[in-house]
């Protein structure tokens, strides 16, 4: 029961975050950026994603660096990440929460597209 209350509070905090508001605004206005590269099997890809999702991926990368003792760049602050995503806790908890947000959004996108990537 306690876990359910914690999850409900986490979900409420997520929907109140600046990240979520930015993501919804970008989806509604169809604003995207193009991400391209090459997969491990040599195939190239080109995806269009909302800039908020790109920021999420970069925040996960930056937090991974920070929790291992490296500061991603001179002006980076973990408090900015906490405020933008409306999160609380230490490096490990924030990192896990960001990965949970990414997984949740990717699962929703897969359901919308009907794909199982």
| pTM higher than 0.75 | yes
pLDDT band of 8, cuts 50, 70, 90: low
- Which contiguous run of DSSP H or E holds residue 77? none
Taking all residues of the chain, what is their mean pLDDT, rounded to a whole number? 84
Domain parsing of the chain, residue ranges: 2-113
pLDDT over 70, % of the chain: 84
Rounded distance between C-alpha atoms, residue 64 and residue 92, angstroms = 9
Q: Taking 70 as the threshold, does the pLDDT of residue 3 lie above it? A: no
Q: Tell me if 98 sits within 8 A of 86, measured CB to CB.
A: no
Q: Tell me if 57 sits within 8 A of 35, measured CB to CB.
A: no
Q: Taking 70 as the threshold, does the pLDDT of residue 111 lie above it? A: no
Q: What is the per-residue pLDDT across 15-26, written as a single tens digit (0 to 9) for each?
A: 888 888 898 898
Specify the pLDDT at position 117.
Answer: 43
Rounded distance between C-alpha atoms, residue 99 and residue 104, angstroms = 8
DSSP-assigned letter for residue 35 = E
Rounded distance between C-alpha atoms, residue 51 and residue 61, angstroms = 15
Nearest CA-CA partner of 50 in 111, 114, 102, 8: 102
């Amino acid at each position: 029961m306690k876990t359910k209350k914690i999850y409900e509070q986490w979900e409420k905090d997520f929907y109140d975050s600046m990240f979520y508001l930015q993501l919804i605004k970008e989806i509604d206005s169809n604003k995207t950026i193009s991400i391209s590269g090459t997969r491990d099997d040599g195939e190239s890809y080109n995806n269009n994603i909302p800039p908020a999702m790109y920021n999420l991926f970069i925040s996960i990368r930056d937090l991974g660096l920070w929790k291992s003792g490296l500061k991603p760049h001179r002006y980076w602050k973990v408090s900015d990440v906490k405020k933008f995503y409306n999160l609380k806790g230490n490096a490990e908890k924030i990192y896990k929460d960001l990965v949970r947000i990414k997984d949740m959004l990717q699962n929703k996108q897969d359901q919308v597209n009907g794909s199982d990537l």
